[in-house]
Amino acid sequence: MEKVIALVDCNSFYCSCERLFRPDLLKTPIGVLSNNDGCFVSRTNELKALGVKMGEPYFKVKELCEKNNVAVFSANFSLYTNISDRVMRTLINFAPIVEVYSVDEAFLDLTGIQGNIEEYCREIRETILRNVGIPVSIGIANTKTLSKVANKIAKNYDKLGGVLHLSSRERIEWSLEKTKVEDIWGIGRRSSEKLNGLGVYNAKQFRDYKNERQIQKIFTKVGRRTQDELKGKTCLELNTVVEKKKEIISSRTFGAPVFDLKSLRESIANYATLASEKLRLQDSVCASIEVVVRTNPYKNVSQYYAAKGHRFNCHTNDTRTIIKYAWRVLDELFQQGFEYKKGMVRISGIRDGDQCQLSLFENSNIDKSKKLMEVIDRINRREGPQTIKSMACGVDNRAWKMRQDMKSPRYVTGWNNLKKCY
């Protein structure tokens, strides 16, 4: 039986979440900024119409935004995660197999659903809008890549009402012709430049490009796979199990430049703490860490980038151990006289906690460590993040702490911030 795959994608997701609690902003252009209020990561159509691009630095268009009464928000990820859960839980009622692909997207396997698929998807769309309050677009086709194509078109052509099913040869041809190569899922900037060089500009031309060996050579098997998917051949199955992370990264741009080792150490301790919490959350241990510090590449000051790793004698997920070695590495990297702007801790060599290779000399404390980490995690879950933390993380008023000047209240995750109705 031919597969039927639907891609449900929330429209301007972060902005739609903000709008949910601010109905007064229904017609107002809205934008949500990345951490540190750096650049735009979500825009409503009204904001796009003003010419503000994805990833555009806020400071460059601040004046334009003020002139046009744009509602600008700092990112409020706990809110978005909560709303995302509600959307995904709604979707589960409509399909036996659902792959949650990202915070705002899910693939549904609708193979075997009786009746008119497009009508069915309109019902999904209306249910999410009514029950959760988030507008979505839905693209339907027989491969994931084609459903992505359909989704994008459903989003951009108002008269489709947010749903497009590539149910006929004509619709497929028309849609592929309308899709530029850089808008194909899996074809990024580099590849689209190369394709343009071959005289290939839209998805239809790419699908029909005959020299498969050349595609393989230039774009690797990833490119071949994308091409096959556009032809309607399934290469990418729906992935419904949540895989454990193979590496965990924790990094932030600092709110203000940092010059001294003490502040850098504090920030690195915080990132190490965050990363090890995530590691324990998935019951894993790691074999190595890497620390990176760097100056601001956009600023005209003397530049410095340094990265260095450390491999543990035996696997660990103990915050204290990870901070200790992260600091040891940092001390080697640090050079006086630079204006540091970003720090990062990366954890890798991840494996399940119960497969831990014990060291001959260090295993006597392993039970103690495990118990201590469990207690700390439990308290922090119950009483709030960082209720118990290492002194290495420092206390408040840290210069490097990120800016979030325009953050909306924790409407759904903090009792004191519940939406008030008068």
60-89 footprint of DNA as x/- string (CB under 7 A): --x---------------------------
- As measured in angstroms, the least distance from the Cβ of 314 to DNA is 15
- As measured in angstroms, the least distance from the Cβ of 60 to DNA is 7
- 40 bridge partner residues: 33
The only residue of 246, 328, 371, 419 in contact with DNA, by rule CB under 7 A = 246
Among the residue ranges 21-29, 134-142, 339-347, 387-395, the one whose residues contact DNA (CB under 7 A): 339-347
- Binding status of residue 99 toward DNA by CB under 7 A: no
- Binding status of residue 318 toward DNA by CB under 7 A: no
Name the residue nearer to DNA (CB basis): 44 or 191.
191
- Binding status of residue 257 toward DNA by CB under 7 A: yes
Among the residue ranges 54-62, 63-71, 387-395, 405-413, the one whose residues contact DNA (CB under 7 A): 54-62
The only residue of 126, 173, 247, 374 in contact with DNA, by rule CB under 7 A = 247
- Binding status of residue 35 toward DNA by CB under 7 A: yes
Q: Are 242 and 102 in contact (CB under 8 A)?
A: no
Name the residue nearer to DNA (CB basis): 121 or 248.
248
The only residue of 4, 30, 47, 248 in contact with DNA, by rule CB under 7 A = 248
- Binding status of residue 341 toward DNA by CB under 7 A: yes
- Contacts with DNA in 165-224 (CB under 7 A)? 184-192, 220-222
Name the residue nearer to DNA (CB basis): 119 or 260.
260
- As measured in angstroms, the least distance from the Cβ of 413 to DNA is 18
260-299 footprint of DNA as x/- string (CB under 7 A): --------------x---x-----------------x-xx
The only residue of 36, 137, 270, 273 in contact with DNA, by rule CB under 7 A = 36
Which residues of this chain interact with DNA, rule CB under 7 A?
A: 34-36, 38-39, 41, 55, 57, 59, 62, 101-105, 148, 184-192, 220-222, 243, 245-253, 257, 274, 278, 296, 298-299, 309, 341-342, 344, 349, 402
